[in-house]
Homo-oligomer: A and B are copies of this chain.
Amino acid sequence: MTQPIKRIAVNTGGGDAPGLNAVIRAIVHAATKRGWEVFGIRDGYNGIFLPERYPNGDGVIPLTRARVRGITHLGGTIIGTTNRGNPFHYPMPQPDGTIKEVDRSGEIIEGFKKHGFDALIAIGGDGSLSMAHELAKRGNIRLIGVPKTIDNDLEGTVATFGFDSAVSFATEAIDRLHSTAESHHRVMVVEVMGRTAGWIALNAGVAGTADVVLIPEIPYDMNLVAEKINAREAAGRNFSIIVVAEGAIPKGGTTSVVEKEVGKAERFGGLGEKIAAQIQTMTQKETRCVVLGHLLRGGSPTAFDRLLSLRFGAAAVRALEEGQSGVVVVLNPPTVNYIPIDQVADRVRHVPVDCDTILTARDLGISFGD
């Protein structure tokens, strides 16, 4: 029989996404309603295994209802996050000046026992969920995952929070660039997030009525991109909007600009700038590039994302109450429920090249450069 729950821990890992605070608030309300205490681990797992970084002893902080008041609409995460320093391969400087990767997961598990946590709700992406799953198995910790990816590329859930906010802002940005592109007869290239999946580029490109959309799932041919721009010009439409996912790959290419030149660090701007330069050369049209990058992560969640986040947070607590462990909450319309964590972790949901949104885009005359 599972032990009754009294104290739970919450953490957020990986890049931030609009809605994280709403998830946290829902967890705190749903848990305290059941008489549980909730604690936030700061900055991924740092708060629990790197105590020296928290001189005030606040690496783990109590999350009360008062503490989560008025945060539903705030971007970011009140407990901090990190996408550096995997505790299973933690980079430790050695006496000889080199860096060695050390497994410090044991310290985290120890910290859990010391704090007397009965369970962990881990809010994170693909990588963070796998890590939490491993920790849970090793430490015999009850775990519920809340999937988080602004790219919407997780298997098992129809949507993740933050994605709608990112698409909304990207669409608004495309709207803005439309008016200036048209007035100046320019080509505007907009680079958005999307290393391996093109959901943001596709959805914002269609909603914002772009002319060309380049995504990792459909290798592009620059000649066809230029052809599209020239065809518009010939039809009297002397401006074009090109939306580019940062991880789009040219036909015949095997790796994206992001992987090759930019690496894993969260840097934007490689591909968009490159494509803008190519277009200017090929079409002789004035071409400009705008990189949305970090603007897509920040900001207040849309109403859709707020609601989804709150539902995810509350569902995670209900799953714990039902005695579940090793599951992640997912949106399976019209319901939020849960599935085993390994049906989600380490799986990327790509844009199917024959999905109806792609068909819609083609019907609207949008080119994928293919």
Contact = CB atoms under 8 A, between A and B. Distances in A.
A207 B306 contact: yes
Interface stretch (A86-94, A103-111, A139-147, A168-176): A168-176
A183 B290 contact: no
Contacts of A307: 167, 203, 206-207, 357
- A: interface residue count bin: 35 or more
A179 interface: yes
A288 B268 CA distance: 9
Interface in A56-84: 72-77, 80-83
Contact of A75 (B80, B82, B180, B314): B180
A16 B168 contact: no
A44 B255 CA distance: 44
Given A74-B179, A164-B304, A333-B333, A82 B184 contact: yes
Interface of A: 12, 15-16, 18, 20, 25-26, 29-30, 33, 43, 72-77, 80-83, 158, 164, 167-173, 175-185, 188, 203-204, 206-209, 266-267, 288, 290-291, 293-295, 297-300, 302-304, 306-307, 310-311, 313-315, 317-318, 333-337, 355-357, 359-360, 363-365
Rank and list the top 8 A-B pairs by shortest CB-CB distance, nearest first: A75-B179, A176-B298, A76-B179, A176-B299, A30-B363, A171-B303, A76-B183, A180-B298
